[in-house]
Amino acid sequence: MIERAAVLGAYTYVSAPRGSAAVTNGALIRDGRAVTLRVTEPLLRDFVASMLCMEADLARRWMTAQGHSSFSGAE
């Protein structure tokens, strides 16, 4: 599940609350200007949620692998 906002490069994605009314949409914001997402909101929300899950899993695996490495961090 994504937070209410996620940074996507130069943009900030603010998701609509899951299960909200059809009139509530997420938005992409850059330089104080927002573009309301109508058709792509569910797709982008699911994509960002998936990427955040993969990022957390990769970070967990990376930390586990670093703890079991036979090489020092400099090598």
Query: By the 8 A CB rule, do 28 and 12 touch?
Result: yes
The answer to whether residue 56 sits within a structural domain is yes
Total number of domains constituting the chain = 1
Task: Please tell me the distance from the alpha carbon of residue 63 to that of residue 73, in angstroms, as a whole number.
Answer: 12
**Which parts of 1-75 are beta strand (E)?**
5-8, 11-14, 27-30, 33-36
pTM over 0.85: no
The answer to whether residue 20 sits within a structural domain is yes
What's the sign of the alpha-carbon dihedral 48, 49, 52, 57? negative
Which pLDDT does position 16 carry in this prediction?
78
Sheet holding 11-14, edge to edge: 5-8, 11-14, 27-30, 33-36
Range of the domain at 51: 5-67
Which pLDDT does position 23 carry in this prediction?
62
**What digits encode the pLDDT tens for the residues 5-56?**
888 889 999 887 766 665 678 899 999 999 998 888 888 888 888 988 999 9
